[in-house]
Each structure stands twice: as structure tokens, then as C-alpha cells.
A and B are shown apart, each in its own frame.
Chain A
């Protein structure tokens, strides 16, 4: 935190005495000054201005004596300070330091109050947001392109189903179209292939059902790794809320959620609608929500995957801003005569250039499975490396031939 600077405060106060017109434009308030005498002096400036009296040594002294606040040395320090012609920059500095000071004070107040930790955390987060948005110094200076190192967008699972790092990817499909299976498959793949820490909030299914689905998927993709989930038993809550005056703001739940899952690289949310406050058709709300999510992606290095429903016309439901704000949008479709795969089509992309259709083989072909059960693999255990196979009994003749070959070629004893 920046420390208050007595010389800057003196210089600004001195400049106003030399050029009282400065008082007309200033945004300064008396409590922006750190030193009590400076605060009192600024109040007197304002009073003199209101009384249409000149702001000069004589009247200032008179007013101070009247209020019993006259401090000759402090006043002399101001009068002897070098006045400055442009006080704007100094003014901003004083305001910013004052904001930090007030913020600090507020935090202390919140912390010393009674109440539970979540309430305190929420209030502090609210305050932090306010400070970040209002503080002048939080506007980053513009960067010159000459000083920026070019960086290509990074994609995970390039060969399987590209997911852009630190961006929002949206996957949409109609009910029963395999969205949740794709969500589980993606989570397992990202954990295994990209070594990422994945959290999937699959809020429409029981965790046990999700586990069952994962095991079904492992029949085709055995290396799908375990990942962390929440299920139906934990009620999802909106990430945004409306303030009393009807303005959108991040909800208390949002702060809790982002803090809670700060350690994860990938956050998968299924379905999007569970996290919307009021109206899924409102572009304002959609934009606000996605701005929040995007900010989280960039500032905290998160990659977000969102599962969303289709409407009756097999189009993405709700506000168009959902799709606009995502960097990559896949649409899930099934193909006739194919019960084993899901097909994902790239509907919208900002950075990805490559094929626009991906086939994800999820399930075993039931017809083939029967055949396999009779002739080939029955089950496989990864951990033990045990595979039990059930191959048709060879006839005796073949058996003898094999044994003879092993005896002769490899010198193995039989008997």
C-alpha cells in the first residue's frame, strides 16, 4: 500500500491558495487528506469559497482561530511549500491513497465484527471489487505491441477434441444426446492426457451414476482417469445476483465457488442454466456471467467447459451472448445407424483452425460385444494386468501340434 505523502498534500493545498480557481475543478474531499490539519484546512477553503471570501492567509488564519484549530507552524509549512501549476496528477495520487486507506479500515471493521466467515469473506470480496473498479490506478497503461511477445492460442486434446486453454468452451446438445457422457469423457481425458486437475460439477446426476458412466466409458477408453466431481446432491446456485437497485453483481456463492476451486486447472459446469440467476434469454445477464467467467479464466489460469442444452429447434437455448462470449462452441449430434459414437461439430471458433467434425467413440457396439464375449476378451483388469480370455477350445490335434512346437523350438518340458 502507498504511504501518504505530506509534501504532496502541502503542495496541493498551497497551489489552491495561489490559484483558488483550482478548487472549482477538484474532486478532492476533505477526508482524502491524511493529516488532520490538512483536512481542517481544506474544509475552511470550501467554507471561504461558499462565503465568497478570498482564500488567502488572512481569512484562513481568521477562520482557524475562530474554530480554535489554528496551528501556526503547520500553516507556515503550507504557505512556504512550492505551489504547483497542475495539481491533477497529485490530486489523483492523494485520492488513490485515500481509497486504499478507507479499504483497509473497512476490512478491519468487517474482521472485527461478529458474523460467520463466509459473510465476512463476501463483504471483503465485494469491497475488493469496488476498489478494483473505482481505483484510478487499476486502469492498466496501454502496451506497445513492440514490447509484447507473440503467443499462439494453446489447445488441449488437439487430436481428440480441442479445448482452448484459459478460455470458455461450450458444448451444446439436445437432451439425451450424450452431453454428460462427453463431459465425463473430456474430464477423464484432460486428467490423463494433459495431466490437468479437473473439477466437474455434473449437477444433473448422482455421483454414483457418474461413476457408473465413467466405468462404461472405460470399456472403450480404459485410460480415462478419475477426477473430482460434485453431483446432484449439492444444489447449484446462481453465480450472479441482483442488488437492491436492480444492478447485476457477482453473488456471494460466486466468491465462495471460485475460492473453493482455485486449485483446479479445468472447471466443467453442467448444465449452464443451473448457474444463471434470472433469465437465460437476457443478453445482459449472459454477458455479465461470461465476463465473470472469462475474468476468472485469465486472472487465475482456468479453463472452463460449459455444457448447455438445445431448444426444441435443436439450436442453442437462451441468449445469443452465451455463444458470442465462448471462444469455441461444439454442437453434439448423433448419426443414424451409429449408437456407439457422438459427433461434435465446431459451430463457432475464434482461434481454432482444423477439422470441424470430431467423432468420439464412447460405447461398445452391442452386436460386436456379444461376438467378443463368445470368442475373445471377456474382461480386463488394468491394475493387475489380468485379462481373462475365453477362446473356443482348440481341437486335440491343434493342441498336440502346439505342444510339439514348444518342445522342439523352445525346449520346454511337457509331461
Chain B
């Protein structure tokens, strides 16, 4: 391999990428590949047992590249909530090195996430989890003769807490900065509040259904994380009558790899509930059509969503 090739940005390219990274809440790749699993309690899932048995590695297939491996720690949608809460906070870019940081308070982050604002310990634990996970992408480089290459990155390099964990400074890695610089990014900050409040909204729906229909939910109620995964995937699209069949989406996200068929069936049943459909339509413009077999996305009028880069030209 050429000695010049590294997984870090050259400084002048870093400066060119800064305006886009500054606005970005996520990359399309993070939302369209199951890096963040649709589980609330990952450690209780079968995929976690397999992960432990397989040298703490989970392999995910995707049509974009050969495969992707999650190493070290499995992350869930809750971690994605934290990551998006961090990325939608004002970022500070290092003037010497090619990475960025976020300085904020635990209170602000928890408030953004619609959680109990005193739960600092929980928040720091989630951030720590993110820092323990690494993503390795295997792909074919079409312009080198040998072809096969890998790209490996972690999200967070260090976490500093100050004043009794009140103030937090998160340093993101140079590799993650590099990853963001060369991927398609989206700024959907106008949706962040709706995504973060999904948990509470779904809990309300559960209570309502329990009362009205006298139904007892098993396995911890409606799988909110599954619904979040779907919403996050759908939001990578332009919102002009995008349609995808539920079954195709399950395949695209390779959910069969990380969920059992029973879990998938239950999650789809919950997704089809009238109350959930109403919520998704109102907040995100997502509806189920074609006898609830197809998900349709029409961006609501009051919402805006911005693509930051389709192909970075440096």
C-alpha cells in the first residue's frame, strides 16, 4: 500500500470538510447499515451471545461493500441517540489536528434526549460504550490492482468530565472525522427532537392500548428501537414519496442476522398498529400503504432536511 494512504485527513482537506461536518447530524451509511442494533437490552439478545462467542465480532452484510464488522462492543439505537445528540450540539474543530470535539453539559444532553436530567452516570456509561466500539469495513478498491482493502474506525477517542461530571468534553477520532469527510452526510436536526421523544410517545401509546384493549405486552412492550431504526433508515431518503416494502427493508438492514424471526414478526405487528402509524405520520410523514406492506415517506411541510454532500469534492 502506498505509504501516503492513511485513514486520516490531510489538513487542507480537513478544512474543506469542516463546514459540512459542522452541520451534519449523521452520515447516510450509519443509518442505512445496522451498526446500531434495534435492541434496548442488547446483552439479553441472542446476537450478543453470538457476538461474545465470535471473539466479540459481529459481521453485517450490505450491498454497499463486502462486509462490515462491529468489534469490541455492540451498540444499540440508544447509543445512536447519544451520538446524534452530541453531533447536533455545536462542534469545535481542532486548529492543529484533524478531528473535532463537543463541549457540553450532561444536563443539556439528557434534556435533548428527553431523559431524566439527573441521570449523568447513565449518560456517561452510554458514551463510554460508544468509545469502546470499532467498525471495520471490508471493501474492494476499484482503482488499485490488489483490490481488497479495509477501513477501521472508532467514534470517540477520549471523554473528559469536569466539575463532578457536569461538564463533558468528547473528542472524536481522526478516523471518524475522515469517515464523515468522505461520506454522504445529512442534517436532520429538525427531526432530532421527534426522534428522541419517540420513546415517551410510544410509552404513552402502550399505556393507552393496555387500557383500551386490555392487552398485556410481552418482552418489554413495543420495540421502540426497531421503530427508531426504521425511522432513521427512512430519513436518509429525500421524502418525495419514497416507498419500500417492509420485507425489503428488513432484508436491506440485514435484520434477520440480528433479530429472531419471532422478534421481527412482533416488531412488524407493532409497527402496523394504528396508533403507531398515526404517530409516524404526524411526526415524520411516514405512512404504511399497500395493506401495510409498504412504507411510504413524504416529508411533512414544516420539516426541513438537508443533504450536505453527495460526493465530497476536495
In this assembly, does A387 line the interface, its C-beta being within 8 Å of a C-beta of chain B? yes
Report A210 CB to chain B, min CB distance, Å.
14
Query: Is the CB–CB distance between A410 and B22 below 8 Å?
Result: yes
Q: How far is the CA of A388 from the CA of B14 in the complex (A)?
A: 11
In this assembly, does B278 line the interface, its C-beta being within 8 Å of a C-beta of chain A? no
Query: Is the CB–CB distance between B142 and A222 below 8 Å?
Result: yes
Query: Is the CB–CB distance between A384 and B92 below 8 Å?
Result: no
Secondary structure at the B interface, as helix, strand, loop or mixed, is loop
Q: Which of A381, A403, A410 contacts B141 (CB 8 A)?
A: A381
Report the interface size for chain B: residues with CB under 8 A from the other chain.
Answer: 38
Q: How far is the CA of A398 from the CA of B35 in the complex (A)?
A: 38
Query: Is the CB–CB distance between B145 and A413 below 8 Å?
Result: no
**Minimum CB distance partner of B147 in chain A:** A215
Query: Is the CB–CB distance between A385 and B311 below 8 Å?
Result: yes
Q: Which of A354-394 contact B (CB under 8 A)?
A: 373, 378-391, 393-394
Query: Is the CB–CB distance between B12 and A380 below 8 Å?
Result: no
Query: Is the CB–CB distance between A388 and B90 below 8 Å?
Result: no
From B3-11, B48-56, B226-234, B298-306, the one touching the partner chain is: B3-11
Residues in B with CB closer than 8 Å to A383 are 64-65, 139-140
CB-CB under 8 A for A402 and B145, given A383-B140, A390-B10, A391-B10: no
Q: How far is the CA of A215 from the CA of B149 in the complex (A)?
A: 14
**Minimum CB distance partner of A218 in chain B:** B142
In this assembly, does B190 line the interface, its C-beta being within 8 Å of a C-beta of chain A? no
CB-CB under 8 A for A413 and B143, given A384-B183, A389-B13: no
Query: Is the CB–CB distance between A378 and B13 below 8 Å?
Result: no
In this assembly, does B225 line the interface, its C-beta being within 8 Å of a C-beta of chain A? no
CB-CB under 8 A for A384 and B139, given A378-B2, A379-B5, A413-B90: yes
Residues in B with CB closer than 8 Å to A412 are 18-19, 22, 91, 93
Query: Is the CB–CB distance between B92 and A218 below 8 Å?
Result: no
Q: How far is the CA of A96 from the CA of B295 in the complex (A)?
A: 59
Residues in A with CB closer than 8 Å to B163 are none
In this assembly, does A415 line the interface, its C-beta being within 8 Å of a C-beta of chain B? yes
Query: Is the CB–CB distance between A406 and B145 below 8 Å?
Result: no
**Minimum CB distance partner of A390 in chain B:** B4
Q: How far is the CA of A380 from the CA of B140 in the complex (A)?
A: 11
Report B286 CB to chain A, min CB distance, Å.
26
In this assembly, does A212 line the interface, its C-beta being within 8 Å of a C-beta of chain B? yes
**Interface code B42-77, partner A: CB below 8 Å = 1, 0 otherwise?**
000000000000000000000011000000000000
- Top-9 shortest CB links A-B: A413-B92, A386-B182, A390-B4, A414-B95, A402-B15, A218-B142, A379-B143, A383-B65, A219-B143
Q: A385-B182, A386-B151, A412-B93 are in contact. List 20 more A-B contacts (CB 8 A).
A: A215-B144, A373-B2, A378-B2, A379-B5, A379-B143, A381-B139, A381-B141, A384-B151, A384-B182, A385-B183, A386-B183, A388-B6, A390-B10, A399-B12, A399-B15, A403-B15, A406-B18, A410-B19, A414-B92, A414-B94
28 pairs, CB–CB < 8 Å, chain A vs chain B: A215-B147, A373-B2, A378-B4, A380-B143, A381-B149, A383-B64, A383-B139, A384-B137, A384-B151, A384-B183, A385-B184, A385-B311, A386-B183, A388-B4, A389-B314, A390-B4, A390-B5, A391-B13, A393-B12, A394-B12, A399-B15, A402-B15, A406-B18, A410-B22, A412-B19, A414-B94, A415-B94, A415-B95
